[in-house]
Amino acid sequence: MKLVECVPNFSEGKDLEKIKTITKEIESTPHVTLLDVDPGESTNRTVVTFIGTPEGVKEAAFKAIKKASEVIDMRKHKGAHSRIGATDVCPFVPVSEVTMEDCIKLTHELSDRVAKELNIPVYLYEEAAQRPERKNLANIRVGEYEGLQEKLKDSEWAPDYGKPVYNAKAGATVIGAREFLIAYNINLNTRDRQLAQHIALNIREKGRAKRDKDGNIIRDEKGKAIKKPGKFKEVKAVGWYIEDYGIAQISINFTNYKISPPHLVFDKTIKEAEKIGLRVTGSELVGLIPKEAMLMAGKYYLTKQGKSPGIPEEELIKTAAISLGLNDVAPFDPQKKIIEYQFKEVENSLIDLNLREFTNELSMDSPAPGGGSTAALCGALSAALSSMVSNLTVGKKGYEGVQKKIKKIAEAAQTLKGNFLRDVDLDTMAFNKVIEAFKMPKKTDDQKEERIFAIEEAYKEATLVPFGVIKKSVKALKLAKEVAQKGNKNSISDAGVSGLTALAAAEGAYYNVKINLPDIQDKEFRLKIKQQASLLRKKAIKLGSELKEIVERELRK
């Protein structure tokens, strides 16, 4: 599921009606979920956080920027926080299945539209910056709104998008792309802030001032303290005392958790604390965290324990939470703390039903869910079985030579299982779009044209979902074959059933592709999918036959 976070900051923190007017634009945008609205009266600034599909987030961001330019007058704005416009800054953040390059592309598309349609000059910052000096937001904000008119006269500060024309009411906007910021605190068994600060200086990227043998700070020729870098890049940290908890904490901001993930910093902090007689009692997550960061932590700790990391994501997250002590000072609820869980791709998801509810729904007289969703479910069952056989092989005597490979298979199978489960819903959603397209009005020529286009696109989507299931089924068959060859022989029958369900998924999905193709008018699309689906089906049948031979040979022993 492709998800992007957007965190625009608006130069209004006092008038709640104006703020609500802006956030309504976000809430009314399809495929977007508003997560948080944080107004600050003294700063006269509101930080808004929302998440959604790339296109949905881009549209919501534009609508919010437009509305802010209408209801906020920068000529009357005063506040403690530095700012340059009605929408001061608007960063895109990759969350799931989206790259930084994808977010940079969104930045350019939004900036172009804001400049052209709203006549607001736009500067690009962070990863989207076109010049090194513009990477840092503080550099762009120098002079703030009050100095913007003069700044725009300087060719060195011409906007990246739009003309260098002063927009007195809206000011300028800074749009960019950055990594997800994780706010995280590590708890210590002390009330001494200085001890927490000592550890913070050791772990943060900025480090601490160098000192000579007498303890004096070493300075350069300009009198500036020379720094000794800390242990982790993209980490900002400070020690403080929290009266509500009665303990000192190391407060950390991870500006790129992919470079320095929380679990590595947590483990290192434990060692640093031990050096000065302290103990880490746990940690606290402030705000939200990407699911990937939690999965990375879960896999890390399971690997350290010699266990297989190829287990369901819920168990990986539970392992991460326990290992990091995330329940130390407050309850950790994954449903509230993991950002992906805040966005529902599907309302009334089929995979949230229990087995009886799902089969009851399947047996009703409605055409969806039907064979396509069932085929995807068969694929999920296959992947689950392959993971099970792999996990039953981990740590077993006689299988020492395949441990590394079998753990990778378990992980790959879990990922595949999740993708198949998503297809259970996507197949039904795609079929429902076909039905909705046929219900569109067709009184005028324009309506007829729109309806024909919608039907064509809906049928294509209804074809591509099962086509994707065929592709995944081939992968599932390969995994089933591998676990049959390398896995625990006591579970050979389970590997066989994994192969059978994967083959059923492939065949079932192939039928669903075939039934939709005749209704698609695009001949090139139809021919391409038909040929590729046929080739994939042949691969699936061949793999299924090879797997059957392996299983039956083992069962004859």
The pLDDT of residue 225: 85
Is 32 in contact with 26 (CB distance < 8 Å)? yes
pLDDT at residue number 81: 87
Strand 280-286 to 208-209 pairing: unpaired
**Are both 18 and 143 inside the same structural domain?**
yes
Say what the pLDDT of residue 345 is. Answer: 85
Q: Are 230 and 285 in contact (CB under 8 A)?
A: no
pLDDT at position 214: 80
Residues spanned by the domain of 518: 350-556
pLDDT at position 274 over 90: yes
Torsion of the alpha carbons at 503, 507, 512 and 516, rounded to the nearest 10: 130
* CATH code (residue 430): 1.20.120.680
Distance between CA atoms of residues 34 and 52, nearest Å: 9
Same domain, 232 and 365: no
Q: How far apart are CA 394 and CA 306, in angstroms?
A: 9
Q: Which residue is catalytic, options 77, 81, 112, 328? A: 81
- The confidence score (pLDDT) of residue 507 equals 98
Over the stretch 38-51, which tens digit does the pLDDT of each residue have? 998 888 999 999 99
Question: 302 or 42: which carries more pLDDT confidence?
Answer: 302
Asked if residue 456 and residue 540 are part of one domain, the reply reads yes
- Specify whether 267 is catalytic: no
Domain boundary residue among 298, 313, 342?
Answer: 342
- Give the chain's domain count: 3
Enclosing H/E stretch for 19: helix 16-27
Domain end point (choices 129, 151, 177) = 177
* Residues 360 and 262 reside in one and the same domain: no
State the residue for tokens 């879960």: 298
252 φ/ψ sector (left φ>0, alpha ψ -120 to 50, else beta): beta
DSSP state of 349: -
**DSSP string over 69-134:** HHH--GGG---SS--SBSEEEEEEEEEES--HHHHHHHHHHHHHHHHHHH---EEEEETT-SSGGG
Helices (H) and strands (E) in the chain — how many of each? 16, 13
Token readout for 225 is 């303290």
- Give, in order, the Cα–Cα distances in Å from 409 to each of 291, 299, 380, 474, 493: 21, 14, 15, 14, 18
Global pTM value: 0.88
Mind listing the pLDDT tens digit for each residue in 147-167? Answer: 999 999 999 999 999 999 999
- pLDDT in the model for residue 216: 85
Residues 317-352 pLDDT 10s: 999 999 999 999 989 999 999 999 999 888 889 999
The CATH number linked to 85 is 3.30.990.10
Across-strand partners of 36? 49
pLDDT of residue 79: 87
Amino acid identity, residue 234? Answer: E
Which CATH number do you get for residue 269?
3.30.70.670
Give me the pLDDT at residue 557, please: 82
Question: What are 440's two structure tokens?
Answer: 């569109």
Closest by Cα among 216, 195, 345 to 278: 195
- Tell me, yes or no, whether 424 and 338 share the same domain: no
d(CA 197, CA 324): 20
pLDDT band at 168 (very low <50, low <70, confident <90, very high): very high
323 and 371 within one domain: no
Average pLDDT over residues 251-280: 97
pLDDT range class, residue 220, cuts 50, 70, 90: confident
**Cα 431 to Cα 170, 462, 512, distances in angstroms:** 45, 6, 11
State the catalytic residue, choosing from 88, 160, 427, 494.
427
519 is catalytic: no
- The pLDDT tens digits for 401-445 are 999 999 999 999 999 999 999 999 999 999 999 999 999 999 999
Helix axis angle for 445-486 and 403-438, nearest 10°, is 160
CA distance between the termini of the chain? 45
**By three-state DSSP, how is residue 286 classified?**
strand
Is 90 exceeded by the pLDDT of residue 281?
yes
Q: Are residues 524 and 426 in the same domain?
A: yes
Q: Which two tokens stand for residue 214?
A: 């007498």
Task: Give burial (CB, 10 Å; 0-12/13-18/19+) of 28.
Answer: exposed
The span from the CA of 317 to the CA of 337, in Å, is: 11
Q: What is the mean pLDDT of the chain?
A: 95
> ∠ at Cα 180 (33, 141), nearest 5°?
100
Domain end marker among 309, 342, 375: 342
Whole-angstrom Cα distance, residue 379 to residue 505? 5
Do 310 and 393 fall within a single domain? no
Residues 9 and 85 in one domain: yes
CA angle 457, 462, 468 (to 5 degrees): 115
Same domain, 332 and 374: no
pLDDT at 117: 97
* Residue 31, token pair as written in the block: 């495929």
Whether residue 309 sits in one domain with residue 384: no
Structure confidence at residue 263 (pLDDT): 98
Q: Same domain for 405 and 366? A: yes
pLDDT in tens, 103-141: 999 999 999 999 999 999 999 999 999 999 999 999 999
Sign of CA dihedral 272, 276, 280, 283: negative
* Per-residue pLDDT, 37: 93
Average pLDDT score over residue span 211-239: 88
